[in-house]
Structure 1
């Protein structure tokens, strides 16, 4: 199959605000199984048009912009790449799953809602997901990506969610909503409430954490735990730049049939390198606006 033929299999939907495309949602990707194929957002842009996501970078080909990925659900790798095995480290296994679009529930310029099926390598449905993604205006230099999901076990018995961190790899409790950021030539500060740097914020349970990128075409991403779920933040800033909200940081958990985690993360995408006080105000403003909207006031 030629590259042009492969591209025709990929299906995307733009998210736009005021006639300006701020993100592309690749809802039907065409990817090798080793990457645990799944829908993802890339490129995501600031209002000025600066790209703030990275997809399939050489260091981690399975990092796909902004997406939902879990390294171990019932033994199936829905993250991509190698699988961490206790006592053996990261090893290649033929256990990669795929997230398949099942149906649309809403599809407009600024709101996407869909049902997804998470399918194991044997073709069996492991999870059913309801996902809603919305682009919302904030001010003249920022907009917000509202990403919420509900996972439901399709198994008849208990279903375990796990991570390398839960299997003994300290600090590697990744899995959940994850954003791979595009650093380029920029210097990136990692900031949170009263703290700064990956060493202090990695594993924290603060209400928000932010990436503030200086240099050419500066930008800021403020990740907000809008529903105060308290998941630890997975933060990287040295070898690459990324932020995620971890579902199974240091311990796995089990979901009963039809049950599973529900989460909501709102990410402010802003032009300019915000300082900690500005990021704090932005997080508070967006949280307040979301609360008012949810309560219909």
Structure 2
């Protein structure tokens, strides 16, 4: 029997059409082999996931051939070529996901980054307990049901079930437990470095905390313990330093300085600067701020 990049059509196989919007190049297939083997040639163009609830088969990776015995799971990331053959009587589900669809489906944040990183690597024949296999099979099947549906919100529902399936593959991959929390000085050092990079992007404290994979409360506590200031106070002080430097050393108009520093509105910049310094920007421009006030350079903080 010839093996093709998509599922070899069998009368007893239920397959669902791929969607066209939210989840491009995504397919979900219920596997129910009848009296003949079922085969796939996986050319590596997209990510491929399989769960075998029951039955047997084999995976040919070119250099090696591995037996597959249900219940088990298989994940091959894009770029990995292989051939998969399932023997008669096998049951389970198959999932095909493009890189674009995977990126859209997996949520942002620390866990989302772990999921994406884990799915860059293959998961080959990992044994599952029957309940795990059934849950993953149902999640994949529901992706197909929603992709086939014309009901309102079907694409979003399909993405919801796809996230559940991808999270299951991630958990099956035995993710490494989160590392011991970083010391406060390390958190502060990383925060100050990021602040220099994203000061003009006007990141919130929550944005910095999310990037550093710590809670906002922990970031605030660490910064106050080490510097005696809150993250927001340091961010505001650093913006004032930049503003005073531009006012003193450039010929830019106040509105241009506001735009350079990421303020969308010059009026808001004026109010911010006056609130932080007690003086409007125009008055500072007429003064020699370099001698009047000396600020620390947080970029050089050890």
TM range (shorter): under 0.3
Which structure carries more helix by proportion?
Answer: 2
Which structure carries more strand by proportion?
Answer: 1
Q: TM-score by structure 1 length?
A: 0.23
Of the two structures, which has the highest relative contact order with CA contacts closer than 8 Å and spacing of 6 or more? 1
* Structure exhibiting the larger radius of gyration computed from Cα positions: 2
